[in-house]
């Protein structure tokens, strides 16, 4: 039985060359496992060299398309692009508002196409449409994705100034709607470009190396449709944005020469190549990256990875033959904290095991720990340079593609992926990842960073988790809440080894 794909509505123009427009939307959505339904705004006569004519559809036909789709199946996400006239802009605004009212969880991506990206640069809409786009549509969309030229035409602001100044000047727009602005830098002349996602209280950069390629038609269409597709699959905005940027890089690398002018992008499939991931940057702080990787792990000692909250539990699992474990003491005011960390480090050396200290990186450095494990929030305050200079291994928690991209530039010793299933130990701000996402993460990182799966994993679930391709499995309650924890530990180790053998 096939799995029903998420439905994405794409609103835009038909491109007779099939390089961009709705034809590119259809290819992108299908490539990413979505079912794309289209609402045609205009018919264009164009090829790889020029746009010869643009004819808007009638309002009757435009409105009937919306109603016909609404009468059948609602979308998981909507992507809006070319709106050739003020009348269609206003009608689109009404329909988007209606959908958002009836289905509040549907996110709308708006790619404000204003000129063809062919050599001619011909206009695809009336000159008077720009102001109407922001006035009518912006209050009802979630993300707008202009390139710098489109941004300047829409707002009258310069796209060449620092992004923090742009955020300040966008204050009125940001205050009047929840729409985030993705300012695309693909037309810039620099070798390293950054797309900035600007919100009311945040600015996040997705940096990437500019590719010297010729076949670039439909880049904007493909990016916005990829973003809508990942959102339709249930990813949050930051994860979807990270994935869309990785997808575009892969698509540009696979561009095809069809016609005399610039050809269309390729369709690279799900983003599983680590080299295509963007680097996450901030305008408020230096790029969080390391010139050298952290010390490597002994992969032969990775397998079962108990995470325990006391020295007694740590000693118990090490006695059973575990070669990798973590001490996670939640109370920073524990009067014996330093002594417990020292004990844990000593036990690791006694049993020749890779023992990580959770959070307390200063104490881990002071007492010569094998490694330290940090969460995403710790990365903002920990002195990574000192940790690396001290020779400690570093593990980093992640909860999706955005945090994986953030972690990869640090070049840690391993990347933890979680939480996979609902957990009993603490409230989690994110949703469980599940096995399908975990398998994608493992493939993405394979051969570059060792991976640890964590969160809600027990003996019954362990074999399926191993089959996703992760290198290590962290367990908490499967041991500490077992009736016979020593026997449970040995059994889990045997199950892991057997599952690895079955996978091979």
Rounded to an integer, what distance in angstroms lies between the CA atom of residue 214 and that of residue 390?
A: 46
Rounded to an integer, what distance in angstroms lies between the CA atom of residue 438 and that of residue 418?
A: 8
Residue 391 CB-half CA count within 13 A:
5
Beta bridge partners of 70: none
Q: Is 326 annotated as a binding residue?
A: yes
Q: Is 358 annotated as a binding residue?
A: yes
Q: Is 425 annotated as a binding residue?
A: yes
Burial class (CB in 10 A: 0-12, 13-18, 19+), 62: buried
Q: Is 166 annotated as a binding residue?
A: no
Q: Is 80 annotated as a binding residue?
A: no
Rounded to an integer, what distance in angstroms lies between the CA atom of residue 227 and that of residue 181?
A: 13
Burial class (CB in 10 A: 0-12, 13-18, 19+), 380: exposed
Rounded to an integer, what distance in angstroms lies between the CA atom of residue 119 and that of residue 94?
A: 34
Q: Is 400 annotated as a binding residue?
A: no
Q: Is 249 annotated as a binding residue?
A: no
Q: Is 38 annotated as a binding residue?
A: no
3-state helix, strand, coil in the chain (%, to 5): 40, 20, 40
Evaluate the omega torsion of the peptide bond into residue 419 and state whether it is cis, within 30 degrees of 0: yes
Tokens of 206: 């997705």
Q: Is 327 annotated as a binding residue?
A: yes
Q: Is 397 annotated as a binding residue?
A: yes
Instruction: Report whether 344 contacts 353 (CB < 8 A).
Output: no
Q: Is 41 annotated as a binding residue?
A: no
Q: Is 334 annotated as a binding residue?
A: no
- For residue 447, the Cα-to-chain-centroid distance in whole angstroms is 20
Q: Is 489 annotated as a binding residue?
A: no
DSSP letters spanning 5-30: PPEEEEEEEEETTSSSHHHHHHHHHH
Q: Is 216 annotated as a binding residue?
A: no
Rounded to an integer, what distance in angstroms lies between the CA atom of residue 104 and that of residue 97?
A: 10
Helix axes 219-232, 237-253, angle to 10 degrees: 140
Burial class (CB in 10 A: 0-12, 13-18, 19+), 301: middle
Q: Is 477 annotated as a binding residue?
A: yes
Q: Is 456 annotated as a binding residue?
A: yes
Q: Which residues are annotated as a binding site?
A: 326-330, 358-359, 378, 397, 423-426, 456, 476-477
Annotated binding residues for Mg(2+), written as ranges, equal 359, 378
């Amino acid at each position: 039985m096939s799995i029903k794909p998420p439905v994405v509505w794409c609103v835009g123009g038909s491109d007779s060359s099939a390089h961009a427009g709705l034809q590119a939307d259809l290819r992108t959505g299908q490539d990413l496992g979505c079912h794309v339904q289209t609402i045609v705004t205009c018919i264009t006569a164009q090829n790889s060299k020029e746009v010869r004519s643009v004819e808007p559809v009638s309002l009757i036909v435009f409105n009937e398309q919306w109603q016909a789709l609404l009468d059948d199946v609602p979308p998981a996400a909507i992507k809006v692009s070319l709106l050739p006239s003020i009348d269609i802009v206003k009608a689109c605004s009404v329909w988007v508002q209606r959908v958002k009212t009836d289905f509040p969880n549907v996110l709308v991506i708006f790619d404000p196409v204003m000129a063809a990206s062919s050599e001619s640069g011909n206009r695809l809409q009336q000159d008077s449409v720009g102001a109407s786009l922001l006035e009518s549509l912006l209050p009802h969309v979630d993300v707008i994705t202009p390139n710098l030229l489109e941004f300047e035409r829409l707002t009258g602001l310069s796209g060449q100034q620092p992004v923090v100044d742009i955020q300040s000047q966008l204050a009125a727009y940001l205050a009047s709607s929840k729409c985030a602005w993705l300012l695309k830098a693909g037309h810039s002349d620099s070798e390293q470009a950054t797309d900035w996602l600007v919100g009311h209280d945040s600015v996040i950069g997705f940096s990437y190396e500019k590719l010297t390629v010729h076949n670039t038609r439909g880049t904007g269409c493909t990016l916005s449709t990829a973003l809508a597709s990942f959102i339709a699959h249930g990813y949050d905005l930051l994860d979807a944005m990270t994935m869309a940027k990785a997808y575009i890089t892969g698509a540009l690398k696979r561009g095809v020469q069809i016609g005399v002018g610039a050809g269309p992008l390729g369709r690279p499939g799900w983003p599983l190549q680590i080299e295509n991931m963007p680097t996450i940057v901030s305008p408020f702080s230096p790029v969080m990256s390391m010139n050298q990787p952290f010390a490597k792990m002994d992969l032969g000692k990775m397998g079962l990875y108990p995470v325990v909250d006391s020295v007694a539990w740590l000693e118990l699992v090490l006695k059973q033959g575990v070669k990798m474990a973590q001490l996670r003491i939640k109370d920073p005011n524990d009067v014996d904290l330093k002594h417990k960390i020292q004990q844990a480090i000593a036990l690791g050396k006694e049993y020749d095991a890779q023992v990580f200290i959770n959070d307390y990186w200063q104490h881990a450095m002071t007492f010569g720990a094998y490694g330290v494990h940090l969460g995403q929030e710790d990365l903002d305050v920990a002195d990574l340079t000192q940790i690396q200079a001290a020779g400690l291994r570093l593990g980093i928690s992640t909860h999706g593609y955005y945090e994986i991209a953030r972690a990869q530039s640090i070049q840690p010793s391993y990347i933890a992926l979680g939480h996979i299933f609902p957990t009993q130990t603490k409230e989690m701000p994110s949703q469980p990842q599940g096995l399908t996402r975990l398998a994608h993460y493992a493939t993405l990182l394979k051969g570059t960073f060792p991976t640890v799966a964590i969160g809600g994993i027990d003996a019954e679930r362990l074999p399926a988790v191993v089959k996703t391709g992760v290198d290590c499995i962290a367990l908490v309650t499967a041991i500490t809440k077992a009736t016979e924890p020593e026997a449970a530990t040995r059994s889990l180790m045997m199950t892991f080894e057997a599952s690895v053998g079955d996978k091979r």
